[in-house]
């Protein structure tokens, strides 16, 4: 029952003194106490009745209310029999801690309030238990095959008044009940945070549901596992980055076993739908596998082109024109090396490349992902933007960008990878023919290696970076890197330590200003003569000439590698 119902029951003689915006709290029991610290007897959700005998001075109110709030009680009702009115310090303390406070008329006994609450709560629980079997029957007859996860979530909303969402491991909303849709949508930041909390809890091996608080609201998170894959997995890391989750806006900590069993049935039904969607990707995966095997074995471009013509209608139904193609390579690696990364990377890549503008229940029907060993490779078709009304050349090709792919998923995936896993990703440029597909695959693999050389759990690199020194620097052996930078920069560092001359910052600014004396002096707030003195000292200490392009390039690379 809700606090609001108690307030509206005139026979109870309750008067609200504060907390009118908290009246939808659920009352699960009642307790009468005058102990200064009753926390050991509280389990949460109670209406606490008190005659205020515990209050000896105004400061006691803050202490008592803090204890009740920490125990998670639903509300506090103070009797007026001993005092003419409820003390202001108690009213203020309840307001600070957002604890609903009622006064009880002196003509109403605590026993009558207790009897009313117990009777209401007991009847509600009995009704809830009586409905469990019927709910199971309705769930089994109206499951995903009858309309997707939304049907099951609608039953949760109509029968149990629960707002619920199915989320992917990256926080992408997959389904929501009509009750959830009737209110504010789940913000993207909240979805990502819930996914991150779920992944972090799953990595610890804790059983669901996981209770978390995000943006001031409490959610209970139930894992949704692939039925077959979960049974075959030897380690939680094999499935944690691919499993969906059910997020329910409620605290399941005090739910009855029957209600928890009902939610477990919900997750099993949604898991069936997940397996169905996964099976629907089989054709696209097989097409991708065939094309990539042809590319890797050096098949003739004509043979690859023929296979692409078969793939295009499946991946881009109705377009009728040969698309451009882009290749994305991903790899998931674990420090102990015992977990096969290919299937995990494949599931993640399929999730990350979901096209948000795609219509229908399968938003990822425009990609095909295969895994080759420990790598997952995606063939992404990119239809060109049509030319304008004036005609002319075909429009530009809208391509994927490495950082943009990871922007929305970096935080939750980092939680799932924890401290022993890494995800690295590389993206090629777009190509428009079979002849370019092999080069695109190699380009994406090179970009992924650049990403792998960077720090962090989730890293990506694009084809744009392969035309820069950024491609070369990560692959310079550590001993060569140390020797090169030491020879050029150690004399300057030693001099700076002894004289605080700031030669290193001066060198960086000078190179950044393309050797312009005026611009560099302005940036450093120095006179040009002072700048010339410092540059002269750099040249003297290193034996280099900063007017020569070769020496400027050596200094530039040394700074980048240091």
pLDDT in tens, 126-141: 455 445 445 555 554 5
Domain boundary among 238, 257, 280: 280
- Taking only the tens place, the pLDDT of each residue in 383-414 is 655 544 444 444 445 577 777 788 778 888 88
- Report the pLDDT averaged over residues 365-377: 79
Give the per-residue pLDDT at 318.
54
Give the per-residue pLDDT at 385.
54
The closest alpha carbon to 434, from 284, 292, 328, belongs to 292
Co-location of 114 and 43 in the same domain: yes
Give the per-residue pLDDT at 323.
67
How high is the mean pLDDT of the chain? 80
Bridge partners, residue 222, by sequence? 246
Examine residue 132 and state whether it is found in any structural domain, yes or no.
no
Q: Is the pLDDT of residue 470 over 60?
A: no
pTM over 0.75: no
Q: Is the pLDDT of residue 315 over 70?
A: no
- Taking only the tens place, the pLDDT of each residue in 331-341 is 988 887 677 77
The closest alpha carbon to 81, from 109, 60, 62, belongs to 109
124 confidence band (pLDDT: 50, 70, 90) = low
- Taking only the tens place, the pLDDT of each residue in 212-242 is 999 888 999 998 876 545 444 557 777 788 8
Which parts of 56-210 fold into alpha helices (H)?
A: 59-71, 88-96, 110-141, 149-160, 178-182, 188-203
- Taking only the tens place, the pLDDT of each residue in 18-36 is 998 889 888 888 888 889 9
Q: Which residues, at least 6 apart from 62, have a Cβ–Cβ distance to it below 8 Å?
A: 89, 93, 96
- Taking only the tens place, the pLDDT of each residue in 157-171 is 776 778 899 998 888
Co-location of 427 and 540 in the same domain: no
Q: Which residues, at least 6 apart from 37, have a Cβ–Cβ distance to it below 8 Å?
A: 67
**Candidate from 50-59, 476-485, 509-518 with smallest mean pLDDT:** 476-485
Separation of alpha carbons 324 and 437, rounded Å: 10
Give the per-residue pLDDT at 556.
86
Q: Is the pLDDT of residue 179 over 50?
A: no
- Report the pLDDT averaged over residues 440-456: 84
Examine residue 195 and state whether it is found in any structural domain, yes or no.
yes
Separation of alpha carbons 77 and 131, rounded Å: 32
Give the per-residue pLDDT at 155.
73
- Report the pLDDT averaged over residues 85-93: 92
CATH code, domain carrying 380: 3.30.70
Give the per-residue pLDDT at 372.
79
Q: Is the pLDDT of residue 285 over 80?
A: yes
Co-location of 428 and 507 in the same domain: no
Whether 251 and 211 have beta carbons less than 8 Å apart is answered as yes
Count CB neighbours of 190 within 10 A. Answer: 18
Co-location of 265 and 291 in the same domain: no
Separation of alpha carbons 154 and 270, rounded Å: 13
- Taking only the tens place, the pLDDT of each residue in 481-519 is 788 889 899 999 999 999 999 999 999 999 988 888 998
Co-location of 271 and 287 in the same domain: no
Give the per-residue pLDDT at 545.
92
Give the per-residue pLDDT at 472.
58
Structural domain that includes position 496: 478-561
Co-location of 309 and 446 in the same domain: yes
Separation of alpha carbons 349 and 426, rounded Å: 11
Q: Residue 230: which H helix or E strand, with range?
A: helix 227-232
Give the whole-number percent of the chain exceeding pLDDT 90: 22
Co-location of 164 and 67 in the same domain: no
Examine residue 125 and state whether it is found in any structural domain, yes or no.
no
CA dihedral 6, 11, 13, 16 (to 10 degrees): 30
Name the 3-class secondary structure at 335: coil
65 confidence band (pLDDT: 50, 70, 90) = very high
Looking only at the bridges linking them, the beta strands covering 46-50 and 29-32 are parallel
Co-location of 344 and 418 in the same domain: yes
Domain count, the chain: 4
Separation of alpha carbons 428 and 461, rounded Å: 9
Examine residue 429 and state whether it is found in any structural domain, yes or no.
yes
Co-location of 357 and 464 in the same domain: yes
- Taking only the tens place, the pLDDT of each residue in 140-154 is 454 555 456 777 787
Co-location of 261 and 385 in the same domain: no
């Amino acid at each position: 029952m809700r606090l609001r119902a108690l307030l509206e029951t005139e026979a109870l003689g309750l008067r609200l003194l504060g907390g009118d915006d908290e009246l939808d709290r659920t009352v699960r029991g009642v307790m009468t106490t005058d102990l200064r610290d009753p926390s050991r007897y509280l389990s949460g959700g109670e209406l606490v009745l008190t005659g205020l005998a515990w209050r000896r001075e105004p400061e006691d109110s803050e202490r008592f209310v803090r204890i009740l709030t920490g125990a998670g009680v639903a509300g506090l009702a103070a009797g007026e029999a001993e005092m003419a009115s409820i003390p202001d310090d108690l009213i203020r303390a309840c307001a600070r801690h957002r604890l609903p406070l009622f006064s009880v008329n002196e003509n109403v006994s605590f026993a009558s309030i207790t009897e009313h609450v117990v009777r209401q709560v007991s009847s509600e629980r009995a009704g809830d238990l009586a409905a469990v079997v019927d709910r199971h029957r309705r769930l089994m007859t109206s499951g995903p095959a009858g309309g997707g996860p939304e049907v099951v979530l609608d039953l949760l909303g109509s029968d149990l008044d629960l707002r619920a969402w199915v989320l992917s491991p990256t926080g992408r909303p997959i389904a929501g009940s009509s009750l959830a849709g009737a209110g504010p949508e789940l913000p993207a930041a909240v979805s990502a945070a819930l996914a991150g909390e779920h992944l972090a809890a799953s990595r610890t091996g804790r059983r669901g549901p996981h209770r978390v608080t995000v943006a001031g609201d409490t959610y209970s998170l139930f894992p949704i596992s692939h039925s077959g894959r979960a049974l075959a997995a030897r380690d939680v890391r094999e499935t944690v980055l691919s499993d969906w989750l059910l997020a329910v806006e409620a605290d399941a900590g005090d739910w009855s076993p029957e209600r928890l069993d009902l939610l477990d049935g919900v997750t099993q039904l949604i898991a069936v739908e997940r397996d169905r969607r996964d099976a629907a990707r089989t054709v696209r995966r097989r097409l991708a596998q065939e094309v990539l095997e042809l590319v890797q074995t050096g098949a003739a471009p004509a043979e690859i082109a023929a296979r692409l013509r078969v793939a295009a209608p499946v991946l881009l139904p109705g377009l009728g024109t040969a698309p451009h193609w882009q290749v994305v390579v991903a790899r998931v690696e674990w420090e102990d090396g015992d977990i096969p990364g290919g299937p995990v990377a494949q599931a993640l890549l399929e999730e990350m490349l979901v096209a948000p503008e795609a219509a229908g229940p399968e938003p990822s029907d425009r990609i095909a992902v295969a895994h080759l060993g420990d790598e997952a490779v995606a063939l992404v078709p990119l239809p060109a933007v049509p030319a304008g009304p004036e005609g002319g050349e075909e429009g530009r090709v809208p391509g994927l960008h490495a950082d943009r792919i990871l922007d929305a998923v970096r935080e939750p995936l980092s939680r799932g990878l924890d401290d022993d896993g890494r995800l690295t990703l590389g993206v090629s440029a777009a190509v428009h023919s079979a002849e370019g597909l092999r080069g695109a695959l190699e380009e994406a693999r090179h970009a992924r290696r650049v990403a792998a050389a960077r720090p962090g759990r989730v890293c990506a690199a694009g084809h744009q970076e392969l035309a820069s020194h950024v491609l070369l620097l990560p692959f310079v052996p550590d001993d060569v890197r140390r020797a090169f930078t030491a020879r050029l920069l150690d004399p300057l560092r030693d001099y700076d330590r002894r004289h605080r001359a700031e030669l290193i910052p001066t060198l960086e600014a000078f190179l950044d200003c393309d050797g312009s004396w005026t611009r560099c002096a302005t940036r450093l707030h120095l006179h040009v003569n002072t700048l010339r003195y410092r540059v002269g000292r750099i040249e003297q200490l290193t034996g280099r000439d900063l007017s020569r392009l070769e020496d400027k390039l050596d200094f530039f690379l040394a700074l980048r590698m240091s």
